[in-house]
Amino acid sequence: MRRILVSFFALAILAAGCGDEDPAPAAQISASDDGTTDLEPASDPTTTLPAVVEIPTTVTTTLAPAPTATAEELAEVGPYPVGITTRTLESGELVEIWYPAGDDATGLTDAYAVRDFTPTIMRDLVPEDINDRLEIAAGRDATTAADGPFPLVMFSHGSTSFRLQSSRLAQHLASWGMVVSSTDHPSRALINMLASPEDARSSVDDVSAMRALVLADETFGPIIDESRVGMSGHSAGGGTTLAVASAGDIAGYVSYASGAFSDEPLPDVPSLFMAGEIDTIVEPGRTADAFSAAPAPSWYLEFADSGHLAFSDLCAVGDGDATLIDLADAAGLSDFLNDGIRRLGTDGCEDPNRPVKEVWPGIHQATTGFFRFVFGTDESPVGLDESVTTNVTIQSK
């Protein structure tokens, strides 16, 4: 049984491993490798307004964000409280939705546990005193904000991972007035990779089904602007992102720690590529090459002293921002973790990487600024130059 749990950790730490639109077999990156607001309307309709209306300088959180924001502001949480909810596709896969919420979400939190995305037998083996939870500021099933419509940003998770893997990023975008959705991909979900053969379903089909579900939803359909839809993905999800954007009806996309997986031309829409300077899972040169091949406008950000998992939550789960390797050690599995597994499980999490919480503001700022530009909120991009953060190399065209 201990060896089963060892297998769980050895695969879980690959939560965002590289791969094409559907990932390569885990063996290719296994431990056997060499180490790795609201102005009320006038009550009398005949009232004549003065020529100039003085707008209050204090507004409630239900107003849309100002038409412009500074780069520094975009790095901080936006004006909206955030709601979170779960929906189910006809196929049975779950979809997580983060969204601009009403005041009833203020001060609430939601959390997930990594063990919930593993097979039951493995889940039951993880000691109860091991904290593998990640908490975000969001109110479960809170009311939606009343001042939409809002754009939609879809997210695709990495290989051997799950839909909630980048919840902090999703929460940030929702606080800035975007609905964000993410579904589990059976072809590369953590639970399936551990318990059953790889599902052959296309992750692009998963995203298509998710988009249809969210737009048809009685709660979210009315508050989403269908003409403003963006795509994003991490690692293998970057491949899915390119494929979805290539199919059309996407305003722009963001690819994290990924690259181009074929010689096909990249989608002719605005793009943003991000990489970690010391990523050993997907080397930054691969992401830079995809940027070079992308039509303008496009941006490339390379974060110094950062690795593969910096674009996910997975370096900040549990007590004391524990990594997944820390959780394995706490379970008494240290002797079963060789240097290769430890390197794969901590890429982006430990020295010489900066703490991910120092990197996240730059990632959040750039992503938010990019989508605000793509969706027409800002006339020009904000936060996609040197103001984004320190210790980052930026290219644009």
Q: Report pLDDT digits (tens) over 203-254.
A: 888 999 999 999 999 999 999 999 999 999 999 999 999 999 999 899 999 9
Strands (E), 222-270: 224-234, 252-256
The confidence band for 34, taking pLDDT boundaries of 50, 70 and 90, is very low
| Per-residue tokens: 361 | 């503001």
pLDDT tens by residue, 295-348: 999 999 999 999 999 999 988 888 655 666 676 676 666 776 567 667 666 789
For 2-15+64-396, CATH number out of 2.40.33.10, 3.40.50.1820, 3.30.2180.10, 3.40.50.2300 equals 3.40.50.1820
Find residue 161's DSSP bridge partners.
189
Residue 196 has what pLDDT?
57
How many residues make up the chain in this entry? 397
At residue 23, the pLDDT reads: 39
Residue 183: is its pLDDT beyond 90?
A: yes
At 383, phi and psi to the nearest 5? 80, 15
Mean pLDDT of 154-175: 92
Q: How many helices (H) and strands (E) are present in the chain, helices listed first?
A: 11, 12
Token pair listed for 275: 């990489």
- Cβ–Cβ under 8 Å, residues 215 and 225: no
pTM value is 0.81
Domain boundaries, the chain: 2-15+64-396
Q: Does the structure show a pLDDT above 50 at 167?
A: yes
Is-cis flag, bond preceding 352, omega within 30?
Answer: yes
Give pLDDT, residue 108: 97
Residue 356 has pLDDT above 70, yes or no: yes
Looking at 60-64, 79-83, 344-348, 361-365, which range is the least confident one? 60-64
Distance, C-alpha 235 to centroid of its chain: 11
Q: Mean pLDDT across the chain, nearest whole number?
A: 80
- Residue 27: the pLDDT is 31
Per the CB < 8 A criterion, the answer to whether 126 and 5 are in contact is yes
Structure tokens at 369: 């600024």
pLDDT digits (tens, 9 = 90+) for 90-124: 999 999 999 999 999 999 999 998 877 766 666 67
| Rg of the chain over all Cα atoms, to the nearest angstrom | 21
How many C-beta atoms lie closer than 10 Å to residue 35's C-beta?
12
Instruction: Identify which has the larger pLDDT, 159 or 365.
Output: 365
φ, ψ dihedrals at 331, nearest 5°: -85, 0
The one-letter amino acid code at 330 reads A
What was the pLDDT predicted at 100? 98
Angle at 57 (CA atoms; ends 52, 58), nearest 5 degrees: 135
The larger pLDDT score, comparing residue 262 to residue 89, is at 89
Report the alpha-carbon distance of residue 216 to residue 210 in Å, rounded. Answer: 10
The backbone torsions φ and ψ at residue 302, rounded to the nearest 5 degrees and listed phi first, read -120, 115
Cα–Cα nearest to 110, from 367, 313, 348: 313
Could you tell me what percent of the chain has a pLDDT over 90?
56
Pair of tokens at residue 219: 């709660």
pLDDT at residue 198 in the model: 56
d(CA 47, CA 30): 72
